């Protein structure tokens, strides 16, 4: 029988299916961080049980850590307690932790791929919705709640109903100045935040095939913003080349065995999906969001549309925009380049390339937070840190930072922030903060010109 990529991975992980009920799904990899795990560990202790498979766990701290002076004790006492609780729990249950200062520390969704922990064909979960990121490797990866974190810790399994499947095909070559982030913001603006609710989305087509792994991660990362459980992309030579020689990737004979298996991971030609969409990448221009959900995006030369729903109007009121407004030319005073969507080395290179020899606008605070210690060190090795410094950008230490504003990196109420993150919800970057989602290149241009621009006007 013809099967999709999703079916193949799913079938290989179902231990059994309950009659009239969910399936027991085996989880290969579990990523754990400090914010959604303490209650799970406490739950294990309360039940008097341990962790089933410490080797299948990767643990780090990212959400609630400062991005300056990570070598010093955390100033915020409640945050410090949460990070210390993580350390205590990992020690108690025998889990290796990539804590602050560790060479491997960083945002869960940045470090697992760059360490070769995320590999094609796996099932991977994390107490974080953007676990969808790892689908870029051809994995079934999805976010879970803390009760489920506890279940996976205790049993390495989850009960899951098999979700619906959607295929999104994107073909064509993107034009200069248009990135993977623009492509996915465009798709979400077309399908809406409910366009893929509850489903797994397979992205395919020539545009996706041409993307690097980091770009594919950006696409899958944001699949959750159209309601999907996760996104996935069939592994190919680009995937294999990326995984080869990563610290935790299989080596030697095992590598060859892995390759052989991974090459079977694709959707059979006559397999069917519950829904199909297709898009033309040539139609995509640099995107920017104007509202308070990621579906409220327009291309930079469009005007804010005219809808009459209360929630739409409320959203514009929060952003202090009006129907029919153009965003181009609007002044901004914050730029945040970071988050598991766009904080990888390729993102930093793009920003550095653009700002080299330029200066940020005086009134802009430009914050760059690399996704991992590894990205930061690579940026330093390439001299990117120097370029950013000269341009007046602030380069921080790794963490989630202003993506969710749990630490001190908050955007003040009322201020506009062009952000490379994934959510522009009310208050997401701090109470009252106004977020405009865009690509790293668009964010870099906003920092330099102090307003929202069409970056293409400044490219050769």
Q: Is residue 159 a contact point for other proteins (CB under 8 A)?
A: yes
Name the minimum Å distance from CB 133 to ligand SF4. Answer: 8
Asked if 21 interacts with other proteins (CB under 8 A), we say: yes
Q: Which of 339, 342, 407, 439 binds ligand SF4 (CB under 6 A)?
A: 339
> If contact means CB under 5 to 8 A according to the sort of partner, which of ligand SF4, other proteins, none does residue 340 touch?
ligand SF4
Rounded-to-integer distance, Cα 283 and Cα 445, Å: 21
The footprint of ligand SF4 on residues 409-448 (CB under 6 A) is 421-422
Residue 22 interaction partner, one of ligand SF4, other proteins, none, beta carbon < 5-8 Å per kind = other proteins
Site track 63-82 with ligand SF4 (rule: CB under 6 A), x = hit: x-------------------
Site string for ligand SF4, 118-137 (x = CB under 6 A): ----------x-x-------
- Select the span of 14-22, 213-221, 363-371, 382-390 touching other proteins (CB under 8 A): 14-22
171 binds other proteins (CB under 8 A): no
- Contact present, 424 and 294 (Cβ < 8 Å): yes
- The tokens describing 45, both together, are 């202790």
Tokens coding 188: 């979400």
**Contact (Cβ atoms closer than 8 angstroms) between residue 79 and residue 408:** no
Cα distance between residue 385 and residue 337, in whole Å: 14
403 scored as a contact of ligand SF4 (CB under 6 A): yes
User: In the stretch 181-200, what mask flags binding to other proteins with x, by CB under 8 A?
Assistant: ------------xx--xx--
182-190, 212-220, 281-289, 398-406 -> range binding other proteins (CB under 8 A): 398-406
Q: Is 250 in the site for other proteins (CB under 8 A)?
A: yes
List the single partner that 70 binds among other proteins, ligand SF4, none, CB under 5 to 8 Å by kind: none
194 binds, among other proteins, ligand SF4, none (CB under 5 to 8 A by kind): other proteins
Query: 3-state secondary structure string, the chain?
Result: CCCCHHHHHHHCCEEEECCCCCEEEECCEEEECCCCCHHHHHHHHHHCCCCCCHHHEEEECCCCCCCCCCCCCCCCHHHHHHHHHHHHHHHHHCCCEECCCCCCCECHHHHHHHCCCCCCCCEEEECCHHHHHHHHHCCEEEECCHHHHHHHHHHCEEEECCCCEEEEEEECCCCCCCCHHHHHHHHHHHHCCCCCCCCEEEEECHHHHHCCHHHHHHHHHHHHHHCCCEEECCCCHHHHHHHCCCCCCCCHHHHHHHHHHHCCCCCCCCCCCCEEEEEEHHHCCCEEECCCCCCCEEECCCECCCCCCHHHHHHHHHHCCCCCCECCCCECCEEEECCCCCCCHHHHHHHHHHHCCCCCCCCCEEEECCCEHHHHHHHHHCCHHHHHHHCCCEECCCCCHHHCCCCCCCCCCCCEEEECCCCCCCCCCCCCCEEEECCHHHHHHHHHHCECCCHHHHCC
**Alpha carbons 371 and 396: distance in angstroms, whole number:** 10
- Residue 1: which of ligand SF4, other proteins, none does it interact with, CB under 5 to 8 A by kind? none
Site residues for other proteins, 280-299, by CB under 8 A, read 293
Asked if 225 touches ligand SF4 (CB under 6 A), the answer is no
Q: Total number of residues binding other proteins (CB under 8 A)?
A: 76
Our finding on whether 340 is near ligand SF4 (CB under 6 A) is: yes
Residues numbered 403-422 forming contacts with other proteins, rule: CB under 8 A:
404-406, 413
Which option in other proteins, ligand SF4, none does residue 339 bind, with CB closer than 5 to 8 A by kind? ligand SF4
Q: What angle do CA 112, 248, 111 make, to 5 degrees?
A: 20
Site for ligand SF4 in 146-185 (CB under 6 A): none
Compose the 337-376 pattern: x for residues touching other proteins by CB under 8 A, - for all others.
----------------------------------------
Relative to beta strand 29-32, strand 57-60 is: parallel
Nearer to other proteins, 217 or 258 (CB): 258
For other proteins, the binding residue among 70, 118, 156, 179 (CB under 8 A) is: 156
What is the token pair recorded at 171? 């073909």
Compute the least distance from the CB of residue 82 to ligand SF4, in Å: 14
Tell how far CA 367 is from the center of its chain: 18
CB of 130 to ligand SF4, least distance (A): 4
In this complex, which beta carbon is closest to ligand SF4, that of residue 62 or of residue 346? 62
Q: Which of residues 100-139 bind other proteins (CB under 8 A)?
A: 119, 121-122, 127-129
Q: Which is nearer to ligand SF4, 109 or 167 (CB)?
A: 109
Which residues, including other chains, have CB under 8 Å from residue 330's CB and lie 6 or more apart?
A: 416, 451, 452
> How near is the Cβ of 371 to ligand SF4 at its closest, in Å?
8
Q: Tell me which of 271, 404, 411, 436 binds ligand SF4, using CB under 6 A.
A: 404
Q: Which residues bind ligand SF4 (CB under 6 A)?
A: 62-63, 107, 109, 128, 130, 339-340, 400, 403-404, 421-422
């Amino acid at each position: 029988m013809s099967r999709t990529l999703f079916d193949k991975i799913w079938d290989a992980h179902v231990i059994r299916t309950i009659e009239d009920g969910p399936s027991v799904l085996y989880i290969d990899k579990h990523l754990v961080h400090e914010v959604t795990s303490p209650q799970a560990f406490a739950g294990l202790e309360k039940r008097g049980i341990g962790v089933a498979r410490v080797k299948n766990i990767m643990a780090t701290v990212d959400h609630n850590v400062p991005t300056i002076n990570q070598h010093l004790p955390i100033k915020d006492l409640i945050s410090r307690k949460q990070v210390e609780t993580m350390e205590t729990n990992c020690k108690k249950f025998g889990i290796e932790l990539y804590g602050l200062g560790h060479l491997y520390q960083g945002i869960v969704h940045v470090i697992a791929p760059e360490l070769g922990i995320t590999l094609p064909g796996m099932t991977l979960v994390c107490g974080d919705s953007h676990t969808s990121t790892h689908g870029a490797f051809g994995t079934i990866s999805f976010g879970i709640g803390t009760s489920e974190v506890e279940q996976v810790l205790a049993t390495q399994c989850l009960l899951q109903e098999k979700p619906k499947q959607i295929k999104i095909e994107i073909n064509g070559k993107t034009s200069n100045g248009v990135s993977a982030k623009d492509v996915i913001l465009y798709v979400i603006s077309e399908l809406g935040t409910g366009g893929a609710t509850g489903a797994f989305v397979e992205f395919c087509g020539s545009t996706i095939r041409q993307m690097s792994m980091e770009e594919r991660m950006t696409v899958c990362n944001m699949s959750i913003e159209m309601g999907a459980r996760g996104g996935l992309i069939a592994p190919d030579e680009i995937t294999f080349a990326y995984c080869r020689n990563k610290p935790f990737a299989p080596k030697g004979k095992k590598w060859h065995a892995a390759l052989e298996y991974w090459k079977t991971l694709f959707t059979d030609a006559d397999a069917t999906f519950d829904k199909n969409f297709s898009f033309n990448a040539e139609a995509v221009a640099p995107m920017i969001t104007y509202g308070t959900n990621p579906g409220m995006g327009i291309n930079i030369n469009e005007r804010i549309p005219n809808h009459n729903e209360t929630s739409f109007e409320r959203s514009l009121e929060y952003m202090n925009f009006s129907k029919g407004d153009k965003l181009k030319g609007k002044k901004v005073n914050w730029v945040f380049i970071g988050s598991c969507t766009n904080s990888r080395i390729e993102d930093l290179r793009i920003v550095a390339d653009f700002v080299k020899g330029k200066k940020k606008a005086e009134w802009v605070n430009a914050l760059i937070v690399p996704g991992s210690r590894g990205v930061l060190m690579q940026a330093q090795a390439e001299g990117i840190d120097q370029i950013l410094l000269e341009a007046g950008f602030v380069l921080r230490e790794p963490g989630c930072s202003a993506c969710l504003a749990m630490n001190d990196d908050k955007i003040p109420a009322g201020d506009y922030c062009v952000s490379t993150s994934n959510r522009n919800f009310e208050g997401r970057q701090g109470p009252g903060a106004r977020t405009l989602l865009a690509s790293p290149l668009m964010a870099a241009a906003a920092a330099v010109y102090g307003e929202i621009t069409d970056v293409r006007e400044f490219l050769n």
